[in-house]
A and B are shown apart, each in its own frame.
Chain A
Amino acid sequence: MNQRPDLDTAHIAATDTPLAAAAIAAAAGSAVAKSPAPPKQTSVFAHARYVISENPVTGLAFGLFLLISVCAIFGPWIAPYDPLASNTMAALQPPSAKHWFGTDQLGRDILSRVMVAARLDMFIAVASVALVFALGGLSGTAAGFFGGWTDRIVGRIADTIMAFPLFVLAMGIVAALGNTVTNIVIATAIINFPLYARVARAEANVRREAGFVQAARLSGNGELRILLTQILPNIMPIMVVQMSLTMGYAILNAAGLSFIGLGVRPPTPEWGIMVAEGAAFIVSGEWWIAFFPGAALMLAVFCFNLLGDGLRDIVDPQRRT
């Protein structure tokens, strides 16, 4: 039982990547196609540079994203200390030159723990967003495009999920399925489902009778093919923005679950647990234990929210005048 969803996640994440890759390839393709053309057109990179220079906040968000990604990928190698090694001699030390972020009650280096935790938190966010994009995005697109029964079923599923307090629903799902990272991913994906389904449905619905869709019918495309080749690429920009926004939310959700003791278990470094562990020490003056992982969490969420706006400008070909 525990194995299957894991497989599903992997499978869907795998099928999802070609889609994202296709979007990137389309964008890259446009850049290639444009290079021989008159100077009216710009490459993706030039466009990205333009967007960032127009909106420095986007640049900041990209910088933060890069930092988080480096921690997530290389965290275990670049962290100054072993994140699990306890040293009671050096417990509860405030930030110093030796331990930039201080140490916790077991003498573990907080900087190292915050860096290493980035990987787990990012994995949960990326996996759950990929899963919910595949489930919610596709079913929402289908609902908007086909209408009728598809629309009703998807709509009612979304309504049902929306009827619960979302965090409580996530708690319930993790409690029922078991306390694993996989189940956190599933729970986070499920509570984000209505958001994706509704955005995708609305976007697909307005394009349902668009001229280019009719033209595709005349070209002998079946309905399913139209959905995949005509509708989906056109709602990608808005979905990318949605993904970036929910990414922050997913990180917060995962940390929240860990904070109340569901999901990731100590001593695994994870921002939510670290905040939970440090919370008890704030009253006695050891603020750094909860502060630094909390700050990391805040910056990550902040970064993904800002990134959403910047990405929309880059992905949308209409903006690339």
Chain B
Amino acid sequence: MTAPTLLDVRDLTVEFMTRRGVVKAVQHVNISVAKGETVGIVGESGSGKSVTSYAVMRILDRAGKIADGAITFSGIDVRDAPEKEMRDLRGREMSMIFQSPRTALNPIRKVGDQIGDVLLQHVQAQPSDVKEKAIEALRKVRIARPEERYHAYPFELSGGMCQRVVIALALACQPQLLIADEPTTGLDVTTQKAVMDLVVELTRERGMSTILITHDLGLAAAYCDKVVVMEKGKVVETAASATIFKSPQHAYTRKLMRATPRIGVSLRDLLPEDMPVPPPPVTDPAEEKLEDKSPLLVVSNLVKEYPRQGASGSLASFFRKKNELPEPATFRAVDGISFEIKRGESVGLVGESGCGKSTTSMMVMRLLDPTSGSVMFDGEDIGAIPAREFAKSAMRKRIQMVFQDPTESLNPRFTAMRAIADPILRMSDIKGSDAVRARCEELARQVGLPVELLDRFPHQLSGGQKARVGIARAIALSPELVILDEPTAALDVSVQAVVLNLLEDLKQKLGMSYLFVSHDLNVVRLLCDRVIVMRAGKIVEEGSAEAVMDRPKSDYTKELLAAIPHPPL
């Protein structure tokens, strides 16, 4: 390391005052960032990686304070600098990109004006030339037609575009240090790649240093020079990214790496070494063949149309320019798709946000009525039953779902027990509180949820435990088809590994079929026999998981696969 050190964090301890006393969020952390270096801070939720970066910017909230240690940024003592100096430093010398680009932008101000504000604030522009400079900033982050986009409001831009604007804001004053806190978490893989490539290119170009905070080892490996692994507020390992993946020293790093889904790895490999691997199920090939014959779910020509807002009104047609073609009055979210799921099969439905995969799953789930097309479940057209009445149908208990966000899908006022018991009380033959309790405990054991946690409320459970409650609820009625809507998207990788294995075990034990909706091809490959790739409401590719992943036929699938960052193994 020949470059001079730009940021030096020594022995940093950050404490938060809570009603249960002092909590040490970060303990004795040492990080140094050289000029022009990209450092990745990797860790799972609660590891203190964001708090560390907030301490560097000194934007901890009121309850938090730097209790010990020193932060030196190009010779300035950040810990003791007066607030006025810090205000000057933030934005001009170091700036930050936040997780959710949309909330980081003021929704009622034009993006160009927002960039202009920053430029004026730090005297990088005069009122006379601020517009030109803002457009220039937009151009630098590769926003097409920046003169037009200058006048756009954040809601008119896509997530990736918004993140570019945020990057433009962060880089507007040519800072020396950029802190990117999970900059691509809400974005699709292809957008993620574009955004990260842009960040790295721009920072290299200007000789800036970058701290990339992420939970994704692959992302850190692909874009960082050095990686700092944090666990429970402590740094467990610091090494160059090339060496850390080749020879991880700390057990936690190894555990994280093991749990990250990647090419050439089976589902069981994700579990930590010390966790017992369940024996492979004894399957009778003859029996399996027999079952394979009948498809459980046949979807044909499924279409969902939404009215386009404000397009069809007479006023809109009055104001339309003469040569402009009238927009179609409806928008096809799902555009005539057909597929089938056999008994005991798991099918992955993959695509980027807005491709219609969630709409499709909601229609199959019978929470949403299709515009046209049929959904045949076990020979019966369930698409014909209105979604409102399906709750009372006998078919209801045969199709269940695991939701994307385990927190949001549990009623905050129900205990775990009550949540799992809900479908049992409504639709099963089990009656009497003791019998229901017994069934709930059996389910809890099946999904690996400690029975004593059944009486807790969702906010008293961890993310993984909440996911288990959601799964227990979905399998409570022994359904034949379970739709998994990104069931691990909100979980840490190590928890994801365990939950994916659990789902696989349950499938083998209970003989269910899965429709696995996800944007993450790596995860889908692990769990699914077949993969369907969707784009803009249509199926672009369909085939066995290996075929689609290893020999993709369509360009779109190839693009998707290429965009996934892989740790160098």
Contacts and interface: CB of A to CB of B under 8 A. Distances in A.
Interface of A: 26, 30, 33, 36-37, 40-41, 50, 54, 210-212, 214-223, 230, 233-234, 317-318, 321
A218 B459 contact: no
Interface of B: 19, 365, 367, 388, 390-392, 396-397, 399-401, 403-405, 408-415, 419, 422-423, 426-427, 452, 455-457, 459-460, 470, 473-474
Contacts of A317: 412-413, 457, 459
A318 B456 contact: no
A223 B388 contact: yes
Contacts, number: 90
A220 B427 contact: yes
Given A221-B391, A230-B411, A30 B396 contact: no
A215 B455 contact: no
Nearest to B388: A223
13 contacts: A40-B460, A210-B408, A211-B404, A211-B410, A212-B411, A212-B414, A216-B411, A218-B367, A218-B423, A220-B423, A223-B391, A317-B457, A317-B459
B373 to A, nearest CB: 21
A215 B367 CA distance: 10
Contact of A30 (B390, B400, B419, B457): B457
A317 B391 CA distance: 29
B456 A33 contact: yes
Nearest to A219: B423
A211 B409 contact: yes
Nearest to A223: B388
Nearest to A230: B411
Given A211-B403, A211-B405, A212-B408, A219 B422 contact: yes
Contacts of A40: 460
A26 B367 CA distance: 29
A214 B367 contact: yes
A222 B392 CA distance: 7
A221 to B, nearest CB: 6
Contact of A218 (B388, B396, B460): B396
Nearest to B479: A218
Nearest to B392: A222
In this complex, the member of A33, A212, A317 whose beta carbon has the largest number of chain B beta carbons within 10 angstroms is A212
A217 B367 contact: yes
Contact of A217 (B391, B410, B419): B391
Contacts of A221: 391, 422, 426
Contact of B397 (A211, A216, A220): A220
B442 to A, nearest CB: 17
B457 A214 contact: no
Given A41-B460, A217-B391, A218-B400, A318 B455 contact: no
Contacts of B404: 211
Given A33-B415, A212-B409, A220-B426, 12 more contacts: A54-B19, A210-B408, A212-B411, A214-B403, A215-B403, A215-B422, A218-B367, A218-B391, A218-B474, A220-B397, A234-B411, A234-B413
